[in-house]
Amino acid sequence: MAVNGDSGAIPVGEPHKTFDTILVLDFGSQYSHLITRRLRELNVYSEMLPCTQKIADLTWNPKGIILSGGPYSVYSDDAPHADPAVFDLGVPILGICYGLQEIAWNLDNKNVVAGEKREYGHAEVTVQKHAGKKAHIDRLFQNLGENLEVWMSHGDKLSQLPAGFEPVASTPNAPYAGIASIERPLFGIQFHPEVTHTPKGKQLLSNFAVEICGARQDWTMEKFVDKEIERIRAMVGPKGQVIGAVSGGVDSTVAAKLMQNAIGDRFHAVLVDNGVLRMDEAKIVKKTLTEHLGINLTVVDATDLFLGRLKGVSEPEKKRKIIGNTFIEIFQDKAKQIAEAAKDSPKAGDIEWLLQGTLYPDVIESISFKGPSATIKTHHNVGGLLEGMHLKLIEPLRELFKDEVRALGTNLGISEELVWRHPFPGPGLAIRILGEVNEEQLRIGREADKIFIDEIVAAGLYRKISQAYAAVLKDRAVGVMGDKRVYGQIIALRAVETTDFMTADWFPFDGEFLKRVSRRIVNEVDGVCRVLYDVTSKPPGTIEME
Ligand code: GLN
């Protein structure tokens, strides 16, 4: 059936078509995505694109543009440059660090040079005041006070101001820490407002986005929900059907609930029980998704198939592959069955769409500017996933950061408990049971994990910790239980705190807590005689054990 992309009166489209949007052009700084995040925290919608974006190819109109920092020097031969058309759009532009240098270079390519010394870390900026006809150039720094603590990270500097510009902030080292054009809405700052080391940075970004660009601060999940539901309906059409896998995690549950609200039972959720889920997981997820959230869910119990294939396998990568491939096989079979059954329904058309819970950090990762030599990594490549079914992807969370997904979940009536759930890996307990996975190891792993998590919840620590679990080690250890020598399993507890899962630190439980958990596990889980706590940060340790 045809896809109806044209819904008449309702404005339908990506958020950049329905919300005022600040475009961040990424020159490869490790902080570029933080600019987008900070703006969204201000309820201003923002998207990031590579610095090489051609303005003629842009299908929407940004309210303002921010040029990010970057590792290059604008005067080098291989330095990336923005499409000159950026400067002809007429919308306000803010350059941050490399971005400032790029603005200056674009206007007069002789005025950026290597500085005598690098400036890295804290600096104090003095804000300048202009009166009369020049007063408007002070808008970027308005209400920030006279002196501002900022964070710098640069080696190049402006040797002179581009024509028509005035300094609006300076440091003893950097006379041009902030500059602005008198004639045009062009601003540049040498420091980074997006990092937390610049305490008033968010206020400065607000001055740019809200005061200077005039962007509305209406990016909220309440608003997003309505627009997104309309967008899904328009995309899928009145009869189109969608299928998607759910895991019980936040992302897939939120995506599924959104689909259910948009198209009801024409969305088919599939939960594959791969036999390596946590204790009662499949049951709990089924209950939550069907009874509480009203999602049209099919549960496939493939425990025997998965465990059969995992038999005798102890190599971590092999375990992951077996689980991944078997999952695709099962999901594909089920999808075909559902599609066959769907054919008979007079109210619905064929299944044409596959739901994916892709989030914005995945999108950023795949588009961010990494220099001319870097190959761009594509994420969530499901090209071969549902072979022969020719499904189109629908990714309703594609524009959202994790905290926004959580806010959206709450907005959709999903319980706080689920919304704040720790991530759980696709290969499940198979990578938390070191070595071969069998029924006995799974029982031990499940029971120990449940005790650990229950105690974390009881101690009020669940939200402070980003991820926690109990692993079953491969070796055994000697113990004495009831005066008898035992040779039992070893449990390793892992709990980490992190904001982005790229780096993490182990959680500093107090001794009493660990004592309680250890005592309970050894007493209550048959076959365990020792409990260890993993005190390895990431790096070098990964969050999971295998
Ligand atoms: N590479 C440029 C410099 O050293 C810009 C650095 C940056 O954007 N952080 O000045």
- CB atoms < 10 A from the CB of 227, how many? 18
How many residues are listed for the chain in this entry? 546
Instruction: Determine the atom of ligand 1 nearest the C-alpha atom of 99.
Output: 8
- The per-type count for the chain, helices as H runs and strands as E runs, is 14, 18
List the structure tokens of 20: 């005022």
Q: Which residue has the tokens 């295998």?
A: 546
Cis peptide before 11 (omega within 30 of 0): no
User: Measured from the CB, is residue 70 less than 6 Å from ligand 1?
Assistant: yes
Q: How far apart are the first and last CA of the chain?
A: 45
Q: Name the nearest CA neighbour of 252 among 304, 300, 293.
A: 293
ipTM of this predicted structure: 0.91
Tell me the CA–centroid distance for residue 101 and ligand 1, in Å. Answer: 8
Instruction: Determine whether the annotation assigns residue 171 to a binding site.
Output: no
Q: Which residues pair with 122 in a beta bridge?
A: 151
d(CA 537, CA 517): 21
Tens digits of pLDDT across the chain (546 residues)? 333 333 334 456 899 999 999 999 999 998 899 999 999 999 999 999 999 999 999 999 999 999 999 999 999 999 999 999 999 999 999 999 999 999 999 998 788 888 877 888 999 999 999 989 999 999 999 999 999 999 999 999 898 999 999 999 999 888 999 999 999 999 999 999 999 999 999 999 999 999 999 999 999 999 999 999 999 999 999 999 999 999 999 999 999 999 999 999 999 999 999 999 999 999 999 999 999 999 999 999 999 999 999 999 999 999 999 999 999 999 999 998 998 887 777 777 888 899 999 999 888 888 777 754 344 333 333 434 556 667 889 999 999 999 999 999 999 999 999 999 999 999 999 999 999 999 999 999 999 999 999 999 999 999 999 999 999 999 999 888 887 888 999 999 999 999 878 889 999 999 999 999 999 999 999 999 999 999 999 989 999 999
List the structure tokens of 192: 């980074």
- Type and span of the H or E element at 331: helix 316-343
d(CA 71, CA 490): 47
Q: Write down the pTM of the prediction.
A: 0.87
* Catalytic annotation, pick one of 33, 51, 97, 529: 97
381, 299 in Cβ contact below 8 A? Answer: no
Tell me the CA–centroid distance for residue 502 and ligand 1, in Å. Answer: 23
User: Measured from the CB, is residue 32 less than 6 Å from ligand 1?
Assistant: no
194 is catalytic: yes
192 is catalytic: yes
97 is catalytic: yes
214, 63 in Cβ contact below 8 A? Answer: yes
Instruction: Determine the atom of ligand 1 nearest the C-alpha atom of 72.
Output: 1
User: Measured from the CB, is residue 353 less than 6 Å from ligand 1?
Assistant: no
Residues 6+ apart with CB under 8 A from 321: none
